[in-house]
């Protein structure tokens, strides 16, 4: 796990810097900065609006007596999309925006759900919660 995180925190920023340099060479520094700012602002607006929609869906599910499983998964995806938008760069911004649109979020939800089901089927889901500690 440490190796994966190390690669994630070193390779992704290097790729982002490379892309920003190439886009800056093609469009110019000011246009590149404006593009990053625009994607960040648009992404923040999208994250807020989609987060509120997800919250409303969770409340609707709970009021109707249903477990909000899809809505909670959507909430996780919107949170991940928001975090990606916070990090500067075009690749992470585009990925974060993809996670915020409901149409593309549906595909990510299917993928995440299938991964959860695989982990559960293999009994690879562990918790470290001790209920005695919660009192």
Q: Using one digit for the tens of pLDDT, what is the confidence trace for 16-63?
A: 999 999 999 999 999 999 998 888 889 889 999 999 999 999 999 999
Are the CB atoms for 73 and 107 separated by under 8 Å? Answer: no
Structure tokens at 29: 């520094």
What is the pTM assigned to this prediction? 0.77
Helix (H) or strand (E) holding 4: helix 2-27
pLDDT at 115 over 60: yes
pLDDT bucket at 130, cuts 50 / 70 / 90: low
Instruction: Note the pLDDT of residue 87.
Output: 83
For residues 80-85, average pLDDT: 90
Q: What pLDDT is attached to residue 125?
A: 61
Query: Half-sphere exposure (CA, 13 Å, Cβ side) for 117?
Result: 6
């Amino acid at each position: 796990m440490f190796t994966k995180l190390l690669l994630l925190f070193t390779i992704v920023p290097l790729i982002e810097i490379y892309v920003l340099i190439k886009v800056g060479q093609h469009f110019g520094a000011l246009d590149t900065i404006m593009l990053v700012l625009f994607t960040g602002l648009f992404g923040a607006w999208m994250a807020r609006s989609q987060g509120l929609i997800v919250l409303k869906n969770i409340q609707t599910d709970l009021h109707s007596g249903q477990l909000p499983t899809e809505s909670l998964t959507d909430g996780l995806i919107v949170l991940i999309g928001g975090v990606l938008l916070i990090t500067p760069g075009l690749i992470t911004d585009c990925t974060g925006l993809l996670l915020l649109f409901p149409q593309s979020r549906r595909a990510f939800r299917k993928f995440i759900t299938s991964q959860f089901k695989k982990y559960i089927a293999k009994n690879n889901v562990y918790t470290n919660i001790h209920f005695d500690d919660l009192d």
